[in-house]
Amino acid sequence: MRISERIRYVGMNDLKTQLFEHQWPLPYGVSYNSYLVIGDKIALIDTAAAAYEDIFLSNIKEEIGERKIDYLVVNHMEPDHSALQAVIRKEYPDCTIVTNAKAVPMIEGYQGLSDNIQIIKEGECLSLGNVTLQFFMIPMVHWPETMVTWCPEERTVFSGDAFGSFKAVPEGSLIDGFECFRDEMTRYYASIVGKYGQTVQAALKKVAPLNIERICPTHGPVWEKEISEVVGWYDRLSAAKLERGVCLAYGSMYGNTAKAAKSVAAELEKNRVVCKMHDLCEENLSFALADAFIYDSIILGSPTYNAGVFPPVQAFMDALKARGVKNRRFAAFGSFTWAGTSVKLLNNQAVEMQFEVAHNGLSFAQGYTPEKFDAEEIAKPFI
């Protein structure tokens, strides 16, 4: 597919895989993007996932026919992009791998390739004759070897996973579409890149002076007209510029904590507070995580379970912790039968995570009734 005369898309959509990284659901699929830069010489920027060897090679041939690939640029070594490096080397035995020193042992470790590798440093250029590639390191977005490739003649940055998104790209026109990708971009960010907000901020500062006119990420659409929206959204997520609203997530075995959750949501909505409710037993936690990255408040519902927090809710709390989510307003609630501990345990964790416990929480014994559980009271600090 043609992005410009000199830049071609040779990636593909994956509508078969159920879970990305065997963890994150893909209700709308995902794309593995790879690009050719065609000058006097030809460079391939990253490859694709292992299952797509045939499609990948045929996409490349469709663009360049019998011409050879001179360089394989490796921006990122996660196997969703690196799995076909050895296939490329076999098909194009003279192609030089161009990457930074941190990627070199990973290339050998994953792909068994160690020869004909050109190691480049920060800011170094590679000439393709009439077009240039320049390399900038963006370590820990989201692996240590990650870098971006800048093509000044095309004002295009090949950004790796930065600015990437879940969701397959429309066949035939993969440029822009921020509104319809925003939710899946946020869930991608929260699930995979979210722990690295500070390094994303550093990377944004590094690429800011480049006067970028096109972003070619490794997942999701190519960004042109909507660059400012996409960069602005990434900036907001990585700098935790939060919107007012509540991510209300709960788990429940027998429905009592669930009823309490619904009463809290109704109370917040009655008062026009944005409330995004997630049932952690029905949904993968990445959907709630995405909202936890957007909103300034988190309310959790958990029954007491073996004197602890109900495991699906604890898993969500652990996911927040692992991503360094902090500075949220917080409250917890839940049902118990003989000795309620879940609310207290969640509050303790919230304090450790630098959350502000806006309400001390409400637990109630056995079945839910509005008399036992005062949704108005727990919702009040969030209104």
Ligand X SMILES: Cc1cc2nc3c(=O)[nH]c(=O)nc-3n(C[C@H](O)[C@H](O)[C@H](O)COP(=O)(O)O)c2cc1C
Q: Which of ligand X, Fe ion, none does residue 305 bind to, with CB < 5 to 8 Å depending on kind?
A: ligand X
Q: Between 238 and 252, name the residue whose CB sits nearer to ligand X.
A: 252
Pairing type for strands 295-301 and 243-250 reads parallel
Q: Half-sphere exposure (CA, 13 Å, Cβ side) for 208?
A: 10
Q: Between 195 and 344, name the residue whose CB sits nearer to ligand X.
A: 344
Q: Between 82 and 297, name the residue whose CB sits nearer to Fe ion.
A: 82
User: DSSP string spanning 43-89?
Assistant: EEE----GGGHHHHHHHHHHHHTTPPP-EEE-S--SHHHHTTHHHHH
Q: Which of residues 313-352 bind ligand X (CB under 6 A)?
A: 335-340
Burial class (CB within 10 angstroms; exposed 0-12, middle 13-18, buried 19+) of 60: buried
Of 338, 265, 258, the C-alpha closest to 302 is 258
Can residue 78 be called a binding residue for Fe ion (CB under 5 A)? yes
Token pair belonging to 146: 């990650």
Q: Which of ligand X, Fe ion, none does residue 152 bind to, with CB < 5 to 8 Å depending on kind?
A: none
Report the side by side order of strands in the sheet with 96-99: 7-9, 35-38, 42-45, 71-73, 96-99, 117-119
Q: Which of Fe ion, ligand X, none does residue 161 bind to, with CB < 5 to 8 Å depending on kind?
A: Fe ion
Q: How far apart are CA 70 and CA 96, in angstroms?
A: 6
Pairing type for strands 147-151 and 156-160 reads antiparallel
- Judged by CB under 6 A, the residue of 101, 119, 125, 253 near ligand X is 253
Q: Between 156 and 347, name the residue whose CB sits nearer to ligand X.
A: 347
Can residue 307 be called a binding residue for ligand X (CB under 6 A)? yes
Can residue 304 be called a binding residue for ligand X (CB under 6 A)? yes
- Judged by CB under 5 A, the residue of 161, 184, 226, 267 near Fe ion is 161
Q: Minimal distance in Å, beta carbon 326 to ligand X?
A: 28
Q: Which of Fe ion, ligand X, none does residue 330 bind to, with CB < 5 to 8 Å depending on kind?
A: none
Q: How far apart are CA 376 and CA 160, in angstroms?
A: 46
Q: Between 96 and 302, name the residue whose CB sits nearer to ligand X.
A: 302
Token pair belonging to 336: 């118990």
HEC secondary structure over 129-167: CCCEEEEEECCCCCCCCCEEEEEHHHCEEEEECCCCCCC
Can residue 164 be called a binding residue for ligand X (CB under 6 A)? no
What binding mask, one character per residue, do residues 203-242 give for ligand X by CB under 6 A, x or -?
----------------------------------------
Q: Minimal distance in Å, beta carbon 146 to Fe ion?
A: 8
Q: Minimal distance in Å, beta carbon 338 to ligand X?
A: 4
Can residue 191 be called a binding residue for ligand X (CB under 6 A)? no
Can residue 252 be called a binding residue for ligand X (CB under 6 A)? yes
Q: Which residues contact 254 (CB under 8 A, 6 or more apart)?
A: none
Token pair belonging to 220: 């999701």
- Judged by CB under 5 A, the residue of 14, 46, 70, 80 near Fe ion is 80
Bond from prior residue into 359 cis (ω within 30 degrees of 0): no
Q: Which of Fe ion, ligand X, none does residue 33 bind to, with CB < 5 to 8 Å depending on kind?
A: none
Q: Which of ligand X, Fe ion, none does residue 78 bind to, with CB < 5 to 8 Å depending on kind?
A: Fe ion
Burial class (CB within 10 angstroms; exposed 0-12, middle 13-18, buried 19+) of 172: exposed
Q: Which of Fe ion, ligand X, none does residue 116 bind to, with CB < 5 to 8 Å depending on kind?
A: none
Q: Which residues of the shown chain bind ligand X in the complex (CB under 6 A)?
A: 252-258, 303-307, 335-340, 366
Contact residues for Fe ion (CB under 5 A)?
78, 80, 161, 218
